[in-house]
Amino acid sequence: MSRMDQAYALLEAECRDRGVDLDAACRRLAALEVETPSWGYGDSGTRFKVFRQRGVPRNPFEKIDDAAVVHRLTGACPSVAIHIPWDKVDDYRALADHARNQGLRIGAVNPNLFQDDDYMLGSLTNVQPEIRRKAIRHMLECVDIMREVDSSVLSLWVPDGTNYPGQGDIRRRKRWLEEALREVYAALEPGMRLLIEYKFFEPAFYHTDLADWGMAYLAAEKLGPQAQVLVDTGHHPQGTNVEHIVALLLDEGRLGGFHFNSRKYADDDLIVGAIHPYELFLIFCQILEAEQSDDERVASTARSIAYMIDQSHAIEPKIPAMIRSVCNIQTQFAKALLVPWHLLRERQEANDVLGAEAVLREAFEMDVRPMLYRLREEKGLPADPIKAFYESGYEEKISERGFGGSGW
């Protein structure tokens, strides 16, 4: 028996003692799909500097090539999100075909309401009607692109806000936003979803029109069932209990998706799971518990979550950083799969404070590497995807692209 098989057998025995079916957990892990963002493959940075790296994609087609490499090595990333106009092309069907030929599909389409000069004082909430119209037109164009690339997710982040008290009329802006979203929502086809993201500050510093989950939830609730909330893990004030937000949105059937990344201070967009792995684990605990809910609405909401990475690499080598994020997600997801829910419930009902806490913590403390190795072996994937990337020669190959590819 190999060392890994022995480790798997040990983990299996430990799981059996805790009433957890390890093979079932492995099957669920194998089905986990995580979308990677096209902008994570290009050069991006901070407001101080964008450092150019050799070999980054020069166009959206090459971003897809890099996303395909991540999928080939991890087996977990069959879709890639695009951002318009960063990924503007003449022929979106050709872009979708290019993805398909490499075993990928185009996932979420992200409109960009923050880089046009006209949007300096707001896009969908601008006091000037013609600028609001321009922003709405851009979003409708994104719905057309969704049709062409066969995407079902329109992922919206509204950067609008003000820097000073009195600069804008908060209530008028709220109504303009609602009006705009109603028009966009009406253009969605059945099966398409509008995922509404929120962020508490930046680029605006005094007030942001969609600042938190409650505002995004309210907007979604007013629009209808095809609108849901998107939780970007980096978009909350320090100390926010993100898993609580996740639980609440799940219970209301309004959790649509995630943008995973890590933050230490603000919207840092670092490698997923690099800073607060326990938080990521606890988020997955809420989701996996909800997947088994007797309430079919809650269970199906949990099963339909769009798991996406939203990372932007200033100093990291792009492809290995993306693979690291995917592996970290798989690790925390695997740990959450090892929670014995019956035992947790038992201890909660007995008001066993420490015992209940221990059930979660002990799952987090388990070494799930045998699960990950088993999964990769069964799918014919390399045991160490990052090592395999460096050995593949792909880095040398793309260095021929030279410098100058931009994520933004």
Residues that bind ligand PSV (CB under 6 A): 39, 110, 157, 197, 199, 232, 259, 267, 310
Strands 105-111 and 79-84 come out as parallel
- What is the number of other CB atoms lying within 10 angstroms of the CB of residue 254? 19
Q: What string of DSSP letters covers 280-317?
A: HHHHHHHHHHHHT-SSHHHHHHHHT-EEEE----SSS-
Helix axis angle for 242-251 and 296-303, nearest 10°, is 120
CA 402 to chain CA centroid, Å, is: 29
Which residues form the interface with Mn ion (CB under 5 A)? 232, 259, 267, 310
184 vs 334 by CB, closer to ligand PSV: 184
**Least gap, CB of 145 to ligand PSV (angstroms):** 15
How far apart are alpha carbons 86 and 130 in whole angstroms?
A: 23
260 vs 373 by CB, closer to Mn ion: 260
Peptide bond into 203 cis (omega under 30): yes
How far apart are alpha carbons 301 and 297 in whole angstroms?
A: 6
Locate all alpha helices (DSSP H) within 224-264, ordered by sequence.
242-251
22 vs 196 by CB, closer to ligand PSV: 196
35 binds, among Mn ion, ligand PSV, none (CB under 5 to 8 A by kind): none
44 vs 226 by CB, closer to ligand PSV: 44
How far apart are alpha carbons 50 and 95 in whole angstroms?
A: 26
How far apart are alpha carbons 287 and 339 in whole angstroms?
A: 12
110 binds, among ligand PSV, Mn ion, none (CB under 5 to 8 A by kind): ligand PSV
55 vs 273 by CB, closer to Mn ion: 273
209 binds, among Mn ion, ligand PSV, none (CB under 5 to 8 A by kind): none
**Least gap, CB of 194 to ligand PSV (angstroms):** 14
Closest residue to ligand PSV using C-beta atoms? 157
238 vs 351 by CB, closer to ligand PSV: 238
376 binds, among Mn ion, ligand PSV, none (CB under 5 to 8 A by kind): none
Q: What string of DSSP letters covers 120-176?
A: GG-STT-SSHHHHHHHHHHHHHHHHHHHHHT--EEEEE---EESSTTSS-HHHHHHH
157 vs 394 by CB, closer to ligand PSV: 157
**Least gap, CB of 40 to ligand PSV (angstroms):** 9
185 vs 260 by CB, closer to ligand PSV: 260
- What is the number of other CB atoms lying within 10 angstroms of the CB of residue 156? 24
**Least gap, CB of 312 to Mn ion (angstroms):** 8
DSSP-based three-state secondary structure for 69: helix
**Least gap, CB of 55 to Mn ion (angstroms):** 25
**Residue found by looking up tokens 């893990």 in the block:** 233
**Least gap, CB of 223 to Mn ion (angstroms):** 20
DSSP-based three-state secondary structure for 351: coil
**Least gap, CB of 240 to Mn ion (angstroms):** 14
- What is the number of other CB atoms lying within 10 angstroms of the CB of residue 402? 12
257 vs 320 by CB, closer to Mn ion: 257
**Residue found by looking up tokens 């890099």 in the block:** 66
CA distances from 77 to 33, 175, 322, 325 (A): 6, 38, 10, 11
26 vs 262 by CB, closer to ligand PSV: 262
Strands 255-260 and 227-232 come out as parallel
